[in-house]
């Protein structure tokens, strides 16, 4: 009797835990993508890099994301006068199950900023 009463709640917790783990995994993937793009844009590894653009370098780690994330980059000068490149990677995560108290789509966005080597 107790199992019959608690089973829906336990299944709900199980699905929420699975989705939380997936959100964490994909947010780490997006952070790696942003870092790769910023590294490409900083001119530190341009001679050794197989990538020709910031977007190509950023999407190199996103092979498991469908559709591919959106990559935006911005260059500028920080407050100390040093040039920088800022890469932002955004992707919409869809949950496993449609549950009433859990959002169906979670927008993930990660940004990395690095100084540009002269």
Report how many domains make up the chain. Answer: 1
Asked whether the beta carbons of 23 and 30 are under 8 A apart, the reply is: no
For 110, list phi and psi in degrees, rounded to 5: -130, 140
| Share of residues in the chain with pLDDT > 90 (%) | 57
Q: Which domain holds residue 24?
A: 2-115
Across all residues in the chain, what is the average pLDDT? Answer: 90
Q: Per residue in 76-114, pLDDT tens?
A: 998 999 999 999 999 999 988 776 776 789 899 999 999
Q: Look up the pTM and report it.
A: 0.84
E strand spans, 1-118 = 70-77, 83-94, 105-115
b/e sequence 14-52, b meaning 16+ C-beta within 10 Å? eebeebeeeeeebbebbbbbbbbbbbbbbbeeeeeeebe
């Amino acid at each position: 009797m107790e199992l019959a009463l608690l089973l829906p709640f336990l299944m709900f917790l199980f699905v929420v835990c699975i989705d939380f783990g997936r959100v964490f995994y994909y947010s780490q993937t997006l952070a790696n993508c942003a870092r790769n793009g910023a590294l490409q844009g900083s001119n530190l590894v341009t001679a050794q890099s197989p990538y020709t653009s910031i977007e190509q370098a950023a999407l190199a780690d996103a092979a498991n994301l469908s559709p591919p994330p959106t990559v935006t980059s911005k260059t500028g000068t920080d407050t100390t006068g040093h040039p920088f490149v800022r890469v932002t990677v955004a992707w919409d995560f869809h949950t496993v199950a449609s549950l009433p108290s859990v959002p169906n789509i979670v927008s993930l966005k990660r940004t990395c900023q690095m100084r540009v080597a002269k």
